Amino acid sequence: MPIPPSLIKKLRRIVGRKQVETGPAELLVYESDGLRLHTARPGCVVYPASTDEVSQLVKVCCQAGVPFVARGAGTGLSGGAICDGGVIIQLSRMNRVLAVHPDDRYAVVQPGVTNEYLNLQTRGHGLEFAPDPSSGVSCTIGGNVAEDAGGPHTLKYGVTHNHVLGQTVVFPDGETATLGGPFPVSTGPSFSTFLIGTEGTIAITTEIIVRLVPVAPAVVTMLAIYSKVADATDAVSGILTAGVLPAALEMIDHLCIQAVEAHLKAGFPTDAAAVLIIELDGEETLMKREAEIVARVCRGQGTAAFYTAETDEERLRLWQGRKHAAGALGKITQAFYTNDGVVPRSRLTDIFQAIYRIGDKYGLRIGNMCHAGDGVIHPQILFDSDDPQGPGRAMDCSRDILLACLEMGGSITGEHGVGVEKRGYIDQMYSAVDLAHMIRLRDGFNPGGCLNPGKIFPNNAKDGETGSAASIPPGAGE
């Protein structure tokens, strides 16, 4: 159903005529996020420049009963920022660093600021925003907050919610609130923390107060090369068991190594079954001792070779190989599909055995990269986009991998979110009572269901989601 012309006029009065897009070519850009297998054509896209404009936009959409979704850079991988026939509230104009307070180690940013841009503004003060998704050059901090994004360095520094102190938000009725603040207090429930990771289904974040941490005085980056994937994954547990907490502990396997070397020449041996990238940071004396422990563990676990980056250039090349591994797959395949399941670290060897077995079942090649220290996997499922059954077979393969993660005590998502991609599996992870409580919370803030409908929960007649608050039995969860 098209958006009423009367609503388009109201939207243009709020943000200006040029800040509302309705043309088919313009809307095509917003049909999907980074997950191209789920698409939905919005009715229009609006570009607010302030919290007040977002509030006004939300009010008129809510009054008209038209669904709306906040969107950042569109780099998400769960279909969470799409809206069929509704209004996309595109936050890219809200891209300013509003304040940096180096003495108190925090900054205030708008949601359209990218991770890398913020760090360019703070590193001169010897500070940085620690979360570092691989898309940090392009992904926005607003999107980080919506998905509780992680990245390679979360092993030591934690995910987004560990680094957000407060937010200004707009609720689905258009009301605004400031939650949390720059300094820790204990005066009631932490509503700011609660909103992080709710995938834009409860409120739209328009300002964020982020914690800044000191840039490490020294960094050591190492590469361990293995002829067996199981030896590499076993070494991950060995490093942590030895009492070393790396800043990052990453793995990529043979297929991804081939893609990286075809594209970037990062220096990974193409005959390796897997490589580990291990990074330590902190005081130089402590790192020297920890680096010796890491080298001893890796060699004891059957490493074929072990190297330490000697220069910043070598270190950067290793990280380019890891962070651009997914993009490099374009050198060896027409299309690929990835997920972000999680397993306990002790089950990494088991999940990779399962992944290769599931790939064989569907006749699909799977390359793997993962935040090994956290147990977050990113299987890259290669398929033929010219085959009408190719995308469906890849998604079925991904489903089986995610269900295997659950069987091993893990999760269906570590950092990409549920979105539309995994909403059909969430009832495999949570009980009906658990889900009903979650929906009751969501509905308490978003009773009309206009804000980002159809995400996270499946099978509800209202918006494609499961259950309702009324389905919670008396005393459940007590």
pLDDT of residue 470: 36
Whether 461 has a pLDDT exceeding 60, the answer reads: no
Quick: pLDDT tens for 338-381: 999 999 999 999 999 999 999 999 999 999 999 999 999 999 99
Quote the CA–CA distance of 304 and 374 in Å, as a whole number: 24
Bigger pLDDT: 46 or 187?
46
pTM, entire model = 0.93
pLDDT of residue 478: 38
Pairing of the two strands 44-46 and 68-71? unpaired
Tokens 């595109």 correspond to: 90
At residue 144's C-alpha, the angle toward residues 410 and 19, to 5°, is 140
Q: Which of 53-67, 213-227, 459-473 has the lowest mean pLDDT?
A: 459-473
At residue 132's C-alpha, the angle toward residues 128 and 136, to 5°, is 100
Quick: pLDDT tens for 173-219: 999 999 999 987 767 788 999 999 999 999 999 999 999 999 999 99
Quick: pLDDT tens for 124-179: 999 999 999 988 899 999 999 999 999 999 999 999 999 999 999 999 999 999 99
Quick: pLDDT tens for 265-276: 999 999 999 999
pLDDT of residue 188: 74
What mean pLDDT is predicted for residues 313-330?
A: 94
Query: What's the half-sphere exposure (Cβ side, CA atoms, 13 Å) at 368?
Result: 30
Across the chain, what does the average pLDDT equal? Answer: 93
Whether 462 has a pLDDT exceeding 80, the answer reads: no
pLDDT of residue 184: 78
What mean pLDDT is predicted for residues 15-22?
A: 98
Q: Which domains does the chain have, with CATH numbers?
A: 5-90 (3.30.43.10), 97-214 (3.30.465.10), 217-327 (3.30.70.2190), 426-471 (no CATH)
Quote the CA–CA distance of 83 and 39 in Å, as a whole number: 9
pLDDT of residue 380: 97
pLDDT of residue 53: 98
Q: Which of 82, 90, 150, 80 is closest to 115 using CA atoms? A: 150
Pairing of the two strands 218-226 and 176-180? unpaired
Strands (E), 302-408: 305-308, 335-338, 366-371, 376-383
Q: Which of 115-119, 180-184, 249-253 has the lowest mean pLDDT?
A: 180-184
Tokens 């038209």 correspond to: 66
Share of the chain above pLDDT 90, in %: 91
pLDDT of residue 381: 98
Q: Structure tokens of 234?
A: 């076993």
pLDDT of residue 1: 67
Quick: pLDDT tens for 405-455: 999 999 999 999 999 999 999 999 999 999 999 999 999 999 999 999 999
pLDDT of residue 466: 38
What mean pLDDT is predicted for residues 296-311?
A: 96
